[in-house]
Structures are given as structure tokens and as C-alpha cells.
Amino acid sequence: MSNVHLRLVSQTVYRNFVQNHWKFNRNFAFESNRRLLSNTSTANPTTGNAKSRVNIKTIAAVAVIPTAYMAYDYFRRKQEKINYKEPDIVTVDRVPNVPIDYKIVGLNDKTNLDLILFRCQTCPFCCKMIAYLNSKGLSYSVVSVDEPFERRVKWSHYKQVPCVLARTKDGKYIELTNSSVVISILAALTNDPEQNIEDLAKMYPKISYVKANGVKKHGIVNKYDLMYNGKLPKGVTLESIHEEFRWRDWADHQFVHMVYPNIYRTHAEALETYNWFSELGKWDQMYPSWMTYLMVHAGATYMFLISKRLKKRHHLWDDVRAQFYEVCNKWTDELDRLKTPFHGGKAPDLADLAVFGAMNSFVGCQTFTDLMNNTRIKPWFDAMKENAEKNRGTIVAAGVTL
Ligand SMILES: N[C@@H](CCC(=O)N[C@@H](CS)C(=O)NCC(=O)O)C(=O)O
């Protein structure tokens, strides 16, 4: 039952209580008065006073109890944590005043969305977004929010990245969250730019549900569904849609789960990973050297410990590197079965982009080198890289404020 319902119920209970209490006291007072009147002949002043004392008590009870209850209810409500329900879609009337890292303009982009991507450079989901935007030649601006002390996208209630602002037809900006949902929405729009982005965003509601094993979950259950609105893109079949769905899910839930336990596998590897982050984020230009040192060492130690928890949570093997090889082999086995350069055939599909994007988030780490040397994934990865570079728009601005 929601808080609103509870509140309504408590108000009803309260009303009934007051009414019944009042009825009871009125009857009581009426009965007392009747008895008082019938006893007038024998009445003495003391008894009369006693009766009026009862009435005063009754009146006091009627007045004090509800007032006390109302005061209690007022303070209780003031203290209670409101069950805040996020609206299904969030719009903002202007772009926040934030510095952008760079802007890409895709000459063939028909969507007119003026996308702004808030990302962390080493987040697998953000890298997946960039892989998608580049491969489709879309225009977008990138805002980095990965400085350790400035992680939040402060203007937003959403506390994660990636987070995307996209211009609607009436010039406002809509906030899109969850990498898979954003990609599904953009896939529908690039296929048919006439579709309305707000209508599309409403088609991916956040819901709570209980699984067959009784576990409560919440999320966007249809995030991999593509709203083609009856206009299937060229070469797309129901079977290819199904396979793309299945492997996108696999990329997000099998492949990505391998990343953190591997790049933070040992304390030494975690340090190496953080040193790469600090190089990528140019921390030495932003912070004094003692702070960079502290951030690298504290971050590496923290993530080393977290990676152990993740390993347990996802029931991973003791040798997570060997398991990562297995996972990569599963992907290359699938490519072998299809006998095409990409999962999507001659061109990458959304599953290719999900795996490729996640891999880009750790290209500077030992894990990446090991995957390249010990699995058969390299030729596919190189082909994906070439494809992304070929299709990406041009960089027109870097280091400016929006
Ligand atoms: N399912 C989300 C996952 C996003 C996510 O987990 N992002 C991480 C970075 S890799 C994050 O923002 N973590 C910060 C936090 O949870 O406070 C998506 O696909 O976008």
C-alpha cells in the first residue's frame, strides 16, 4: 500500500474516531443531563458541579485528543521519508552550464537531437554509448564527470552515468538514462527520425516485480526491445532481432561482470589500472601530485576490495582471468558459427557494439593485453575499431563550455 493510501486510511480512521468519539460523548452528555434533570428534586449543588465537571472533561477530551492527534500527525508527516516517485520522463528547459570535453558532428545525422553525453571515461556502459554514437555517425557532445570529487551529474536526480540529454521537437531537453534504453531509443530514431523521442522514452517504464523465486526486483524489463513502429530496417528479420536482443543482454550481464573483477584482480593490477585512469583523465594537470598519488592508491585499494565482493556476488571463478578468456571464446564461437565478420553480419549490430564498448573501457589495462594475446577476439576487435573510426563524425570543438 502506498504512503498516500496509508495517509488516506489514517485520515479516515481519524475521522471515524472523532465522529464516534463525539457521538459517544454527546450521548454520554445527553444521558447525564437527562439524569441530572430527572433528579432535580434531589439534586444538590455538589452533584450538579460534578456533572458539569464531567461535561467539561468530555469537551476537553473531544477538543484535546483530536488536536493532539493532528499535531502528532503533522510532525510525523514532516519527519516521514516521502516515497518519491521519479516521473517517467524528465525534461529540462536548458542545457546546464558545463564544460564539454569535445563535440562530434556527424554529417549524415538526421535526428537533430543535439545529444549531450555525461560520462565517466572508464565506465563500460559509457564506452558502449560512445561506441554506438560513433558507429552510427551521430552528432554529440561529451561531458566528463569522472573526476573523483565531482562524480555526480549535479543537476540531475540520476546518480549514475551514462546520462544523456537530447533535444525534443519543442526545443526542451529530455533526460535519458540507462545505456541500453538510450541505445534502443536512438536505434528507433535513426531508423525513423519521424518518431517522437518523448513517446519513445515513455515506452521504457521502470517497474518493480517479483521473480518466480520470490526475489523482488526493479528495472526496465523491455530495455532491449526496439520500437521500429512497423518499419523494419533493411536486412533485419525477426530472428536477427531476437539474436541481437539475446546477445545484448549477454554483453551487459555476462561480459561486463567480468570487467571489474579482472581489472582490479590483484592490488598491483588495481594500481596499474588507476595509474592508467589518472593518465587518461590528466589528473596530474588537475590536482597537486600528492593528491593524485592519494587518489590512485586509495581508489585502487577500494576497488580491489570491491572486486572481491563482485566476484562473490556474480559467482565467478577463482581464476577470473581464465573465466574472462572463456567468456571471450563464447563470443568468438558465436561469430564462427555465424561465419560473418560481425555479429550483425556485414555491419555491427547492437550486440557487437555492446561487447566492443565494454572492451574499450579497459584498453589500457593488463586484462586487455591478456585477452588480445590469449583469445581469438583480436581480429573482431580490430575490425570494430576500424568501423567506428570510419563512421564517426568529425571533432569540431574541444574543451569549450556549452
Ligand atoms: N544499467 C546502467 C548501469 C550504469 C552504471 O552502473 N554506472 C556506474 C558507472 S560504471 C555508475 O554510475 N556508478 C555510480 C553509482 O552507482 O553511484 C546502465 O546501463 O546505464
List alpha helices for 150-288, DSSP H.
179-191, 197-202, 238-250, 256-263, 267-280, 283-286
Q: Write the pLDDT tens digit of every residue in 83-106.
A: 545 567 889 888 888 888 899 999
Check pocket membership of 180 for ligand 1, CB cut-off 6 A. yes
Atom 1 of ligand 1, nearest CA residue: 178
DSSP notation for 272-309: HHHHHHHHHTTHHHHS-HHHHHHHHHHHHHHHHHHHHH
Question: Which pLDDT band holds residue 164 (cuts at 50, 70, 90)?
Answer: very high
> Is the CB of 310 inside a 6 Å radius of any atom of ligand 1?
no
What contacts 109, CB < 8 A, 6 or more positions away?
137, 138, 139, 393
pLDDT band at 55 (very low <50, low <70, confident <90, very high): low
| Closest approach atom of ligand 1 to CA 128 | 19
- Residue 281 Cβ inside 6 Å of ligand 1? The answer reads no
Ligand 1 atom closest to Cα of 162?
20
C-alpha 393/C-alpha 139 separation (Å) is 7
The conformational region for residue 235 under phi > 0 = left, psi -120 to 50 = alpha, else beta, is left
Q: Is the CB of 161 under 6 A from ligand 1?
A: yes
C-alpha dist (Å) from residue 307 to 39, 112, 116? 86, 40, 31
Quick check: CB of 178 below 6 Å from ligand 1? yes
User: To the nearest whole number, what is the mean pLDDT of the chain?
Assistant: 83
Give the largest CA-CA distance in the chain. 113
Instruction: Assess whether the C-beta atom of 153 lies below 6 angstroms from ligand 1.
Output: no
105-134 pLDDT per residue, tens: 999 898 999 999 999 989 999 999 999 999
CA separation for the pair 18, 10 (Å, rounded):
12
* pLDDT tens string 195-227: 999 999 999 998 888 888 888 888 899 999 999
Cα gap 232→230, rounded to integer Å: 6
- The whole-number average pLDDT for the span 236-262 is 97
Which candidate, 150, 152, 155, places its Cα nearest to that of 175? 155
Residues 6+ apart with CB under 8 A from 399: 99, 100, 101, 102
Give the H/E segment covering residue 129.
Answer: helix 124-135
Nearest CA to ligand 1 atom 14: 160
Check pocket membership of 179 for ligand 1, CB cut-off 6 A.
Answer: yes
Rounded to two decimals, the pTM is 0.77
CB-ligand 1 contact for 162 (6 Å cutoff): yes
